[in-house]
């Protein structure tokens, strides 16, 4: 019975984190991220054409902040006073963003991260697809 339990647990871990980002890739979380789409567990999708706010992530030694900011036409950003604290945790073979705000806390699995794309999955299996934000004054 004990061996069955450990085999089942190992299978779940291997299936859930089959393409874990590397620690070096995790440093690419730093920067401005614009949401592109959300995919729900039932397969439904919601696309975002225009984003009034984007996420700013700043990490140092796997700890930092996540903040909503409003991009301006001149390349600057307006930011609010709320800054959520985040930590990157390596657990069960996956990297997780643990976020703590003034009002709540939550956890998201880092499915993938690169220089241009970020994919996060929350505890209810909703997947968020982000692209690196390009300031309006740098777009062609």
The pLDDT confidence band at residue 31, using thresholds 50, 70 and 90, is very high
Average pLDDT (105-110) is: 96
The token duo for 86 is 């985040």
pLDDT for residue 22: 86
Average pLDDT (82-105) is: 93
Closest residue by Cα to residue 29 from 125, 123, 120, 94: 120
Average pLDDT (18-44) is: 91
Average pLDDT (100-110) is: 94
pLDDT in tens, 36-87: 999 999 999 999 998 999 999 999 999 999 999 999 988 899 998 889 999 9
Angle CA(53)–CA(51)–CA(65) in degrees, nearest 5?
Answer: 30
Average pLDDT (91-119) is: 94
SS (H, E, C) 18-79: CCCCCHHHHHHHCEEEEEEEEECCCCCEEECCCCCCEEEEEEECCEEEEEEEEECCCCCEEE
| Angstrom distance (rounded) from CA 93 to CA 69 | 32
The pLDDT confidence band at residue 138, using thresholds 50, 70 and 90, is confident
Using DSSP, state whether 100 is helix, strand or coil: strand
Q: What pTM was estimated for this model as a whole?
A: 0.83
Using DSSP, state whether 103 is helix, strand or coil: coil
Average pLDDT (118-125) is: 97
Domains and CATH numbers, the chain: 21-138 (2.40.128.280)
| pLDDT for 123 beyond 70 | yes
């Amino acid at each position: 019975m004990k061996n069955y339990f450990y085999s089942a647990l190992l299978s779940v871990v291997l299936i859930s984190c089959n393409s874990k980002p590397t620690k070096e890739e995790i440093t690419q979380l730093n920067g401005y991220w614009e949401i592109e789409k959300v995919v729900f567990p039932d397969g439904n999708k919601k696309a975002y054409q225009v984003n009034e706010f984007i996420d700013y992530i700043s990490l140092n030694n796997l700890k930092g902040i996540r903040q909503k900011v409003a991009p301006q036409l001149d390349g600057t950003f307006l930011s609010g006073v709320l800054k959520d604290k985040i930590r990157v945790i390596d657990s069960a073979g996956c990297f997780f963003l643990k976020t703590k705000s003034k009002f709540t806390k939550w956890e998201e699995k880092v499915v993938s991260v690169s220089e241009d794309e970020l994919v996060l999955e929350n505890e209810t299996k909703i997947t968020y697809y982000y692209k690196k934000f390009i300031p309006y004054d740098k777009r062609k």
